[in-house]
Amino acid sequence: MTLLRVAGLQLDPVWEDPVASFGRAERLLAAAAAQGAALAVLPEMFATGFSMRAAELLGHAAAIRRFLSQAARHHGLWICAGLVMAGRDRPRNAALVVDPDGQERLRYDKIHPFSLAGEPDHYELGGQLATVMIEGLRLTPLICYDLRFPEPFRARSAQTDGYLVIASWPAARREHWRALLRARAIENQAYVLGVNRVGEGDGLIYAGDTMLVDPLGEVVAAAAGQEAVVAGLLDAGRVAELRERFGFLADRRPDLYARLQATD
Protein backbone atom coordinates (compact mmCIF):
# COMPACT_ATOMS: atom_id res chain seq x y z
CA MET A 1 0.00 0.00 0.00
CA THR A 2 1.43 3.36 -1.04
CA LEU A 3 0.30 6.26 1.12
CA LEU A 4 1.33 9.91 1.08
CA ARG A 5 0.33 12.52 3.65
CA VAL A 6 -0.16 15.87 1.95
CA ALA A 7 -0.91 19.33 3.32
CA GLY A 8 -2.45 22.25 1.48
CA LEU A 9 -1.23 25.52 3.03
CA GLN A 10 -3.99 28.12 2.83
CA LEU A 11 -1.86 31.28 2.96
CA ASP A 12 -2.59 35.01 3.06
CA PRO A 13 0.35 36.47 1.08
CA VAL A 14 1.60 39.99 1.66
CA TRP A 15 1.06 41.84 -1.62
CA GLU A 16 4.28 41.96 -3.68
CA ASP A 17 6.37 41.47 -0.52
CA PRO A 18 8.16 38.11 -0.60
CA VAL A 19 10.11 38.59 2.64
CA ALA A 20 6.94 39.22 4.65
CA SER A 21 5.17 36.38 2.85
CA PHE A 22 8.05 34.00 3.66
CA GLY A 23 7.38 34.46 7.37
CA ARG A 24 3.74 33.49 6.95
CA ALA A 25 4.60 30.54 4.73
CA GLU A 26 7.24 29.34 7.18
CA ARG A 27 4.69 29.10 10.00
CA LEU A 28 2.41 26.94 7.87
CA LEU A 29 5.30 24.79 6.62
CA ALA A 30 6.37 24.12 10.20
CA ALA A 31 2.79 23.17 11.12
CA ALA A 32 2.55 20.81 8.14
CA ALA A 33 5.81 19.11 9.08
CA ALA A 34 4.65 18.77 12.70
CA GLN A 35 1.51 17.01 11.44
CA GLY A 36 3.62 14.47 9.58
CA ALA A 37 3.08 15.72 6.03
CA ALA A 38 5.54 14.53 3.39
CA LEU A 39 4.35 17.10 0.82
CA ALA A 40 3.28 20.68 1.49
CA VAL A 41 1.57 22.72 -1.24
CA LEU A 42 1.50 26.55 -1.32
CA PRO A 43 -0.81 28.66 -3.52
CA GLU A 44 -0.23 30.32 -6.88
CA MET A 45 2.33 33.17 -6.61
CA PHE A 46 2.46 32.42 -2.87
CA ALA A 47 5.09 35.03 -2.05
CA THR A 48 3.65 38.02 -3.95
CA GLY A 49 -0.01 37.56 -4.70
CA PHE A 50 -1.45 37.32 -8.22
CA SER A 51 0.12 40.48 -9.64
CA MET A 52 0.35 41.49 -13.29
CA ARG A 53 3.69 43.23 -12.70
CA ALA A 54 5.46 40.29 -14.30
CA ALA A 55 8.91 41.83 -14.75
CA GLU A 56 9.04 43.05 -11.14
CA LEU A 57 7.91 39.66 -9.81
CA LEU A 58 10.48 37.88 -11.94
CA GLY A 59 13.11 39.86 -10.06
CA HIS A 60 12.10 37.98 -6.89
CA ALA A 61 12.44 34.52 -8.45
CA ALA A 62 15.93 33.76 -7.14
CA ALA A 63 15.01 34.68 -3.56
CA ILE A 64 11.79 32.65 -3.71
CA ARG A 65 13.57 29.60 -5.10
CA ARG A 66 16.21 29.92 -2.38
CA PHE A 67 13.52 30.12 0.30
CA LEU A 68 11.77 27.00 -1.02
CA SER A 69 15.02 25.04 -1.19
CA GLN A 70 16.03 26.01 2.34
CA ALA A 71 12.55 25.36 3.76
CA ALA A 72 12.36 21.93 2.12
CA ARG A 73 15.71 20.94 3.63
CA HIS A 74 14.92 22.41 7.04
CA HIS A 75 11.55 20.67 7.39
CA GLY A 76 12.37 17.51 5.41
CA LEU A 77 9.43 18.22 3.10
CA TRP A 78 8.57 18.03 -0.54
CA ILE A 79 7.16 21.46 -1.42
CA CYS A 80 5.04 22.54 -4.39
CA ALA A 81 4.60 26.30 -4.76
CA GLY A 82 3.71 28.97 -7.30
CA LEU A 83 6.02 31.77 -8.43
CA VAL A 84 7.01 33.78 -11.49
CA MET A 85 9.90 32.31 -13.52
CA ALA A 86 11.65 33.17 -16.77
CA GLY A 87 10.16 31.99 -20.06
CA ARG A 88 11.43 32.16 -23.62
CA ASP A 89 10.40 35.75 -24.27
CA ARG A 90 8.41 36.81 -21.19
CA PRO A 91 7.96 35.66 -17.59
CA ARG A 92 5.77 32.65 -16.89
CA ASN A 93 3.39 31.82 -14.07
CA ALA A 94 4.91 28.60 -12.79
CA ALA A 95 4.62 25.82 -10.22
CA LEU A 96 7.84 24.44 -8.78
CA VAL A 97 8.31 21.15 -6.90
CA VAL A 98 11.30 20.90 -4.58
CA ASP A 99 12.41 17.68 -2.85
CA PRO A 100 13.51 17.32 0.82
CA ASP A 101 17.15 17.77 -0.24
CA GLY A 102 16.24 21.20 -1.62
CA GLN A 103 16.57 20.11 -5.26
CA GLU A 104 14.11 21.34 -7.88
CA ARG A 105 12.44 18.27 -9.34
CA LEU A 106 9.64 19.67 -11.51
CA ARG A 107 8.53 22.91 -13.11
CA TYR A 108 5.12 23.43 -14.67
CA ASP A 109 4.17 26.61 -16.55
CA LYS A 110 0.51 27.65 -16.53
CA ILE A 111 -1.16 26.58 -19.79
CA HIS A 112 -4.19 28.86 -19.48
CA PRO A 113 -3.37 32.43 -18.36
CA PHE A 114 -6.48 34.18 -17.06
CA SER A 115 -7.68 36.38 -19.91
CA LEU A 116 -10.27 38.29 -17.84
CA ALA A 117 -7.42 39.71 -15.74
CA GLY A 118 -5.20 40.37 -18.76
CA GLU A 119 -2.73 37.69 -17.70
CA PRO A 120 -1.85 36.70 -21.32
CA ASP A 121 -0.69 40.29 -21.88
CA HIS A 122 1.94 39.94 -19.17
CA TYR A 123 2.80 36.24 -18.96
CA GLU A 124 3.89 33.75 -21.59
CA LEU A 125 1.72 30.66 -22.09
CA GLY A 126 3.03 27.27 -21.03
CA GLY A 127 2.67 24.29 -23.35
CA GLN A 128 3.54 21.10 -21.48
CA LEU A 129 2.26 19.03 -18.57
CA ALA A 130 4.58 17.56 -15.96
CA THR A 131 4.19 14.77 -13.40
CA VAL A 132 6.42 13.99 -10.42
CA MET A 133 6.72 10.77 -8.40
CA ILE A 134 6.64 11.36 -4.65
CA GLU A 135 6.92 8.30 -2.43
CA GLY A 136 5.11 6.12 -4.95
CA LEU A 137 2.39 8.65 -5.85
CA ARG A 138 2.27 10.24 -9.31
CA LEU A 139 1.24 13.89 -8.94
CA THR A 140 0.51 16.50 -11.60
CA PRO A 141 0.44 20.23 -10.78
CA LEU A 142 -1.87 22.70 -12.53
CA ILE A 143 -2.55 26.37 -11.83
CA CYS A 144 -5.80 28.18 -11.04
CA TYR A 145 -7.59 28.98 -14.35
CA ASP A 146 -6.41 25.59 -15.71
CA LEU A 147 -9.15 24.11 -13.51
CA ARG A 148 -11.84 25.39 -15.88
CA PHE A 149 -10.48 23.21 -18.70
CA PRO A 150 -10.93 19.43 -18.40
CA GLU A 151 -8.59 18.70 -21.31
CA PRO A 152 -5.19 18.88 -19.53
CA PHE A 153 -6.53 16.84 -16.62
CA ARG A 154 -7.80 14.15 -18.98
CA ALA A 155 -4.62 14.20 -21.05
CA ARG A 156 -2.59 13.12 -18.01
CA SER A 157 -5.14 10.93 -16.22
CA ALA A 158 -3.58 7.58 -17.17
CA GLN A 159 -0.20 8.74 -15.84
CA THR A 160 -1.28 10.31 -12.54
CA ASP A 161 -2.82 9.42 -9.19
CA GLY A 162 -3.59 13.00 -8.22
CA TYR A 163 -3.58 16.65 -9.23
CA LEU A 164 -2.21 19.60 -7.27
CA VAL A 165 -4.17 22.73 -8.24
CA ILE A 166 -2.60 25.90 -6.82
CA ALA A 167 -4.64 29.06 -7.12
CA SER A 168 -5.52 32.68 -6.45
CA TRP A 169 -9.24 32.14 -7.04
CA PRO A 170 -11.49 35.06 -5.99
CA ALA A 171 -14.31 34.56 -3.50
CA ALA A 172 -16.82 35.93 -6.04
CA ARG A 173 -16.51 32.64 -7.96
CA ARG A 174 -15.87 30.31 -5.03
CA GLU A 175 -18.73 27.94 -5.91
CA HIS A 176 -17.17 27.36 -9.33
CA TRP A 177 -13.87 26.46 -7.63
CA ARG A 178 -15.52 24.01 -5.26
CA ALA A 179 -17.62 22.34 -7.95
CA LEU A 180 -14.78 22.06 -10.47
CA LEU A 181 -12.37 20.50 -7.98
CA ARG A 182 -14.88 17.73 -7.31
CA ALA A 183 -15.67 17.34 -11.00
CA ARG A 184 -12.02 16.88 -11.95
CA ALA A 185 -11.62 14.24 -9.25
CA ILE A 186 -14.74 12.33 -10.31
CA GLU A 187 -14.14 12.37 -14.05
CA ASN A 188 -10.49 11.31 -13.74
CA GLN A 189 -10.89 8.98 -10.74
CA ALA A 190 -7.98 10.71 -9.04
CA TYR A 191 -7.24 12.75 -5.95
CA VAL A 192 -7.39 16.54 -6.32
CA LEU A 193 -5.78 18.87 -3.80
CA GLY A 194 -6.90 22.42 -4.51
CA VAL A 195 -4.86 25.02 -2.60
CA ASN A 196 -6.18 28.58 -2.70
CA ARG A 197 -5.10 31.75 -0.92
CA VAL A 198 -7.11 33.78 1.58
CA GLY A 199 -7.23 37.47 2.46
CA GLU A 200 -7.23 40.52 0.18
CA GLY A 201 -4.95 41.36 -2.71
CA ASP A 202 -5.13 44.21 -5.21
CA GLY A 203 -8.78 44.84 -4.35
CA LEU A 204 -9.93 41.22 -4.57
CA ILE A 205 -11.17 39.03 -1.72
CA TYR A 206 -10.11 35.39 -1.47
CA ALA A 207 -12.03 32.86 0.63
CA GLY A 208 -9.60 29.96 0.37
CA ASP A 209 -11.84 26.88 0.19
CA THR A 210 -8.70 24.77 0.05
CA MET A 211 -9.80 21.16 -0.13
CA LEU A 212 -8.63 17.60 -0.65
CA VAL A 213 -11.04 15.55 -2.78
CA ASP A 214 -10.81 11.77 -3.16
CA PRO A 215 -11.25 9.83 -6.44
CA LEU A 216 -14.99 9.45 -5.83
CA GLY A 217 -15.45 13.20 -5.40
CA GLU A 218 -15.80 13.12 -1.61
CA VAL A 219 -14.24 16.01 0.29
CA VAL A 220 -11.67 14.58 2.71
CA ALA A 221 -10.61 17.86 4.32
CA ALA A 222 -11.31 21.54 3.73
CA ALA A 223 -10.92 25.02 5.20
CA ALA A 224 -12.08 28.53 4.36
CA GLY A 225 -11.74 32.12 5.51
CA GLN A 226 -8.38 32.08 7.30
CA GLU A 227 -4.88 30.67 7.09
CA ALA A 228 -4.94 26.92 7.64
CA VAL A 229 -3.29 23.57 7.00
CA VAL A 230 -5.59 21.18 5.12
CA ALA A 231 -4.13 17.68 5.40
CA GLY A 232 -4.98 14.13 4.42
CA LEU A 233 -3.70 10.87 2.97
CA LEU A 234 -3.41 9.95 -0.69
CA ASP A 235 -3.54 6.24 -1.47
CA ALA A 236 -2.24 5.08 -4.86
CA GLY A 237 -3.71 1.63 -4.28
CA ARG A 238 -7.18 3.09 -3.87
CA VAL A 239 -6.87 4.94 -7.17
CA ALA A 240 -5.88 1.73 -8.96
CA GLU A 241 -8.61 -0.31 -7.26
CA LEU A 242 -11.38 2.17 -8.07
CA ARG A 243 -10.29 2.48 -11.69
CA GLU A 244 -10.32 -1.30 -12.03
CA ARG A 245 -13.70 -1.70 -10.33
CA PHE A 246 -15.36 1.19 -12.18
CA GLY A 247 -13.89 1.18 -15.68
CA PHE A 248 -15.18 4.58 -16.72
CA LEU A 249 -11.89 5.77 -18.19
CA ALA A 250 -11.62 2.64 -20.35
CA ASP A 251 -15.02 3.43 -21.87
CA ARG A 252 -13.84 6.67 -23.39
CA ARG A 253 -13.81 6.98 -27.22
CA PRO A 254 -11.05 9.51 -27.99
CA ASP A 255 -10.94 8.69 -31.72
CA LEU A 256 -14.64 9.46 -32.01
CA TYR A 257 -14.28 12.66 -29.98
CA ALA A 258 -11.64 13.89 -32.41
CA ARG A 259 -13.96 13.26 -35.34
CA LEU A 260 -16.88 14.96 -33.62
CA GLN A 261 -14.74 18.02 -32.93
CA ALA A 262 -13.79 18.22 -36.61
CA THR A 263 -17.42 17.98 -37.74
CA ASP A 264 -19.20 21.20 -38.76
Closest CA relative to residue 142, chosen from 101, 201, 184: 184
List active site positions: 44, 110, 144
Query: According to the 3-state scheme, what is the secondary structure of the chain?
Result: CCEEEEEEEECCCCCCCHHHHHHHHHHHHHHHHHCCCCEEECCCCCCCCCCCCHHHHHCCHHHHHHHHHHHHHHHCCEEEEEEEECCCCCCEEEEEEECCCCCEEEEEECCCCCHHHCHHHCCCCCCCCCCEEECCEEEEEEEHHHHHCHHHHHHCHHHCCEEEEEECCCHHHHHHHHHHHHHHHHHHCCEEEEEECEEEECCEEEECCEEEECCCCCEEEEECCCCEEEEEEEEHHHHHHHHHHCCCHHHCCHHHHHHHHHCC
